[in-house]
Structure 1
Amino acid sequence: MPAKHFIPFRQLRRQPAIVVDSTSLGASLTLAHWRGAATPEPLRDDTSAGSVLRALHHPDTPGLEAAAVTANHFDIDGFVGVWALLNPELARQHEPLLRLIATLGDFREIDWQNPLADHALRVVCWLNAEEKARFYEPFGAPARRRREEEASVEKFTWFLPRFAAVMTQPETVRAVWGPEYTRIKQGVAVMQSAATTVRQYPEIGLTVVRTPGPLPYYALFSPSIGADMVLSLYDGNRYEFEYKYTTWVDLESRPTLPRLALDALTRRLNELELPSRRWTFDGITDTGPLLRLSSKSLTKVQRYADPDQRPMYPSSISVEQLEQEIVAFFRAGYADIEPRRYWSWAEIREAGKRVLPTE
């Protein structure tokens, strides 16, 4: 496989290029888990980086001979995929670690029993800390009147030559990743303590977490592996429901249920809620739609940020009733729907039309 180099996304049509964690009609090869992406079937994976790592084991894949590699945004999964194509030998050597880093970065899930989990967390915390300190937060380009596909080039240019050293020896930059790492590990300790209870509703793909207060995602989502929705119940009747990113992409490892529009559920909760605040929800095509009690709409940056970084408001609905209402809504909505792989957005919208209002 010939040596490769990164190019800005806008240069895609000037030369044959591999597109990672993105889509484009001009790609010589697409390696992305986006819904409907043209990733070759043998290379499909839960993460885009996973598809890249599969491709490294299949060097005869048509299009893989292209020397240029690009992506239309910067995130951890896409970055790991781009880096792996530029550093194939090192990527193969560290494949299990890279897979954990990509999964934690995209799905915010990690099995803390995995011996590489702590290593992956340190690398992810370094990526997050440097991204925010040197550039801008995820989804922050529009606020700076810049296009993500153009602004993100600076991130790739800075991180690509530095990543290998940190991946193999993260202790050398502990001062950078330490603060976020400590905050997350404190959250993990709360999640694993008697203060937190977790209930699973596998028939609807829901994890319910009852814990004292909002936590970082890397801690909060740790018990939700294999589930696609999380209901967080915090002290003081503060609540948040979220569709995980696992249902925005095409998962390869398991079937999923389609996202359902939350109009009927929101109406029901607003009927039960005292009128001082209103329940709101994001559209089903958002990367991680939230259902929450709100005073005003959150920005995309706020929605993507950790739950402990955004305001939470007390509800007049009891914790027991809220859980019952949400479970009843999804049990009714999914009553005649079977989980499967590779839903199209059209099929997801059609499934949502059959949702019954809660009683």
Structure 2
Amino acid sequence: MPVKSFVPFAQLRRQPTIVVDSTANGAALVLAHWRGAPTPPALRDDTSAGSVLRALHAPATPGLTAAAVTANHFDVDGFVGVWSLLHPALALRHEPLLRLVATLGDFRELDLTDPLADEALKLVCWLNAEEKARFYEPFGAPARRRREDEASAEKFAWFLPAFGAVLENPETGRAAWEPEYARVQQAQLVMQSPATHIRRYPEIGLVVVETPEPLPYYALFGPTAGFDMVLSLYDGQRYEFEYKYTTWIDLESRATLPRLPLQELAARLNHQETAPERWTFDGITDTGPLLRLGGHSLSKVQRYADPDQRPIYASSISPHELEAEVVAFFRARYAGLVPRKRWTWADIRAAGEPRG
């Protein structure tokens, strides 16, 4: 396989180019889990990095000989995919770990029973810390009046030559990863303690996490693998509901139910709510739509950040009543819908149309 190099997204059409964790006309090959992306069927995977690793096992894949690689944004999954194409031998040597890193980065699901989980967490925390310290936080480019596809090229330029050393020996990056790592470790203790209660509703794909205080996603979403919606119930009648990123992409490992618009559920809650704030919601095409009691509109940066890094307001609705309302809404609206793969956005919008 020819040696490859990263090029900024704007240079896509200057030479045959592989596009990772993005989609674009004119690509020699697309390796992405984005909904509707033209990833070859044999290479489809839950993560874009997973598709790249599948491609490395299939060197005859058309387009894989292209010498240029690009992505239109920087995140953990996309970066791991780009890096793997540039360092195929090292990537295949660390394939199980890199798959965990990509899954944790995108879905925030950390399987503590996996022997590589601790190492994956350190690598993701290192990527997060260095990204924020040296550049800007995820989704922060517009606030700096920059386009993400342009600004992210600077991140790739720094991380691509630096990542291999930390992958081979995470201790070399301890100064960067340790603060977030320690925070997540402490949160995992809370998640495993008697103070936390988890209830699952597999027929609608919902996990209810009842825990005292908002926690980092890497701890909060750990027990939610295989589910697509999370209702978090915190002390003081503070709540958030979230559609996970697993329903924004084309998940390969299992079928899913489509996202439903949240305005009807928000209206029901607002009818009951006596607190001064109102229930607000994000659209179904957001990467992780939230339903929450809003004091003010959250920016995309705030919505992507951990729950313990944004304000969460007290509701007048009891936890039992809220859980019952959410479960009843989705049970009624999902009745008759069959989980499947390859939902298009048109399919999802049609599924969310009012019935009657």
TM-score (norm 1): 0.98
Match of 2:189 in 1: 189
* CA displacement 1:154-181 (0-9 Å, x = unmatched): 1000000010100110112211110000
1:21-170 correspondence runs (5 A)? 21-170=21-170
Q: Distance in 2 between matches of 1:276 and 1:212?
A: 23
SS state of the match for residue 283, structure 2?
Answer: coil
Q: Distance in 2 between matches of 1:166 and 1:178?
A: 13
Q: Distance in 2 between matches of 1:227 and 1:104?
A: 15
Q: Distance in 2 between matches of 1:197 and 1:354?
A: 33
* CA displacement 1:242-296 (0-9 Å, x = unmatched): 0000000000000000000011111000000015110000000000000000111
SS state of the match for residue 256, structure 2?
Answer: coil
SS state of the match for residue 261, structure 1?
Answer: coil
Deviation at 1:355, TM superposition (A): 5.4
Q: Distance in 1 between matches of 2:355 and 2:141?
A: 36
Whether the 8 Å CA contact 1:207–1:227 is kept in 2: the answer is yes
SS state of the match for residue 19, structure 1?
Answer: strand
Matching residue's letter, 2:199:
R
Q: Distance in 2 between matches of 1:9 and 1:262?
A: 34
Confirm whether residue 343 of structure 1 aligns to residue 350 of structure 2.
Answer: no
* CA displacement 1:91-131 (0-9 Å, x = unmatched): 00000000000000000001101000000000000000000
Q: Distance in 2 between matches of 1:277 and 1:143?
A: 26
Match of 1:329 in 2: 329
Q: Distance in 2 between matches of 1:172 and 1:48?
A: 27
Q: Distance in 2 between matches of 1:91 and 1:176?
A: 22
Structure 1's consecutive aligned runs of 4 or more residues displaced over 4 angstroms after TM superposition are none
Confirm whether residue 280 of structure 1 aligns to residue 280 of structure 2.
Answer: yes
How many corresponding residue pairs?
A: 356
Whether the 8 Å CA contact 2:6–2:69 is kept in 1: the answer is yes
Match of 1:172 in 2: 172
Match of 1:304 in 2: 304
Whether the 8 Å CA contact 1:333–1:354 is kept in 2: the answer is no
Whether the 8 Å CA contact 2:275–2:315 is kept in 1: the answer is no
Where do 5+ consecutive residues of structure 2 fail to align? none
Matching residue's letter, 2:68:
A
* Percent of aligned pairs with the same amino acid: 73
Whether the 8 Å CA contact 2:18–2:64 is kept in 1: the answer is yes
Q: Distance in 2 between matches of 1:147 and 1:262?
A: 29
Whether the 8 Å CA contact 1:195–1:212 is kept in 2: the answer is yes
Match of 1:220 in 2: 220
Whether the 8 Å CA contact 2:275–2:314 is kept in 1: the answer is no
Q: Distance in 1 between matches of 2:303 and 2:39?
A: 29
Deviates most, 238-247 or 166-175: 166-175
Q: Distance in 1 between matches of 2:326 and 2:114?
A: 32
SS state of the match for residue 280, structure 2?
Answer: strand
Whether the 8 Å CA contact 1:332–1:355 is kept in 2: the answer is no
Match of 1:11 in 2: 11
Whether the 8 Å CA contact 1:36–1:250 is kept in 2: the answer is yes
Q: Distance in 2 between matches of 1:355 and 1:44?
A: 34
Mark the CA change 1:230 to 1:167 in structure 2 (over 3 Å): closer, same or farther. Answer: same
Matching residue's letter, 2:97:
L
Where do 5+ consecutive residues of structure 1 fail to align? none
- CA RMSD after TM alignment: 0.7
* CA displacement 1:216-265 (0-9 Å, x = unmatched): 00000001000000000000000000000000000000000000001111
Q: Distance in 2 between matches of 1:309 and 1:69?
A: 34
SS state of the match for residue 230, structure 1?
Answer: strand
SS state of the match for residue 161, structure 2?
Answer: coil
Confirm whether residue 320 of structure 1 aligns to residue 324 of structure 2.
Answer: no
